[in-house]
Every structure is written in structure tokens, then in C-alpha cells.
Amino acid sequence: MAEASEDDLDLGISLEVVATLVDQARAVQGTEVVDLDAEAETDPDTGAVEDEFDEDSLRAAILALNEDEQAALIALALVGRGDFTAEEWEEALEQAADRDGGEDAAELLLGMDNFGDLLAEGVAAFGLSLEDVER
């Protein structure tokens, strides 16, 4: 597949939002890449490194998205997991939008192992990268 540019591909959700959620998911699920040169904030009382994100804030961020954005996020995870290819995007979106079990998007995504990585893989399937996306 030829590489797509952000301008000629509409995923239904901005890459900035996806990149931010990938970062949050990786922090929550413990899969984020740690920058050893960066100065981490520590709690002065306990000396523990403070997590910037937690599962509740990640859940709230997902649920704050509109229905179409939530469906796009789920579809990206499905593509990243290999359930669909980039060429099957419309099918992935349709399945993501049609959640029969009444499961909300946050519950569904948080139930996926390493869903931050799945989102990044889903974006990569379209020839795009989250590396240079501003957060």
C-alpha cells in the first residue's frame, strides 16, 4: 500500500488525539518507553515517581470523544491487532460503531492488552507514524 499522508486520509479522529491517548495508555499499562535522561517528578513525601496518568483519567479522555471518534479509536485498535487490514477500514469502523454488548469504548479498549501499542500499529498500517505528532 502506498504511504498515505495525513492530508489525504481521514481516519475520523486526529492523529494528535490518538498520539496523546497512546502515550496515556502506555503509561497506564506500563508499556511506555522511559526516557532515562528526563527528570521525573517525585512525590516529596514518599519519594515515589508520580504517574501523570491513571486509568480513570484515560477512561475519561476516551469517553470525552464523540461517538465517531470512539469508533475510529476502536477500529484503529482492531487494525493494529490484525483483525482488519487498512484496506478493510470501513468494515473495521462499522464493527467498532456497532457494539452490540452495550460495552462503552473505554471499557472495550482498556480490556485490550497493550491497547496503546495496538493504536500505534493501527496508525502504522496506514503508512503513518505517531512519532512526530505534536502532543
Enumerate residues 6+ apart whose C-beta is below 8 A from 36: none
What was the pLDDT predicted at 15?
A: 96
Domain boundaries, the chain: 15-124
What was the pLDDT predicted at 19?
A: 97
Enumerate residues 6+ apart whose C-beta is below 8 A from 49: 40, 41, 42, 43
- Report helix, strand or coil for 53: coil
Instruction: Count CA atoms within 13 Å of residue 74 on its CB side.
Output: 28
Q: What is the CA radius of gyration of the chain?
A: 16
Residue carrying C-alpha cell 505528532:
133
pLDDT in tens, the chain (135 residues): 444 444 457 899 999 999 999 999 999 987 655 443 444 444 445 444 444 568 999 999 999 999 999 999 999 999 999 999 999 999 999 999 987 667 799 999 999 999 999 999 999 999 999 998 887
End-to-end Cα distance, the chain = 27
